[in-house]
């Protein structure tokens, strides 16, 4: 993965740094982790208990990308702030939409 996401045969795989317990749920642009990985920054208002923050992240992404939540799967990082999700769909369209959503204002 060069950026925060990459195309795969079924859609895209995306890395996200999630902050739970936020005032509002939102995507907040891009960041670089301490080990140099690019990630999308996201905040959700849900608590990090019993998978609530992960479910809120999936709902947030599905809303932002205008796709069904069932097309998004958490593939790594269940209990970590760093998440890896697989999003099913047209890789080009999803990549273009994520690029628009994460541009600095």
pTM: 0.92
pLDDT tens for the chain, residues 1 to 105: 558 999 999 999 999 999 999 999 999 999 999 999 999 999 999 998 899 999 999 999 999 999 999 999 999 999 999 999 999 999 999 999 999 988 775
Residues near 92 by beta carbon (within 8 Å), at least 6 away in sequence:
7
Q: What is residue 7's predicted lDDT score, i.e. its pLDDT?
A: 94
Q: What is residue 32's predicted lDDT score, i.e. its pLDDT?
A: 92
Q: Which helix (H) or strand (E) covers residue 48, if one does? A: none
Instruction: Identify whether the C-beta of residue 86 lies closer than 8 Å to the C-beta of residue 13.
Output: yes
Q: What is residue 102's predicted lDDT score, i.e. its pLDDT?
A: 85
Residues near 12 by beta carbon (within 8 Å), at least 6 away in sequence:
5, 6, 86, 87, 89, 91, 94, 95, 98
């Amino acid at each position: 993965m060069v950026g925060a996401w990459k195309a795969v045969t079924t859609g895209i795989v995306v890395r996200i740094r999630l902050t739970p317990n936020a005032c509002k749920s939102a995507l907040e642009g891009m960041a670089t982790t301490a080990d140099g990985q690019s990630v999308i920054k996201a905040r959700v208002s849900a608590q990090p208990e019993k998978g609530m923050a992960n479910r809120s992240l999936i709902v947030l992404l599905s809303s932002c990308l205008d796709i069904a939540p069932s097309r998004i799967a958490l593939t790594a990082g269940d209990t970590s702030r760093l998440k890896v999700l697989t999003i099913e769909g047209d890789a080009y369209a999803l990549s273009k939409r994520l690029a628009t959503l994460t541009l600095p204002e």
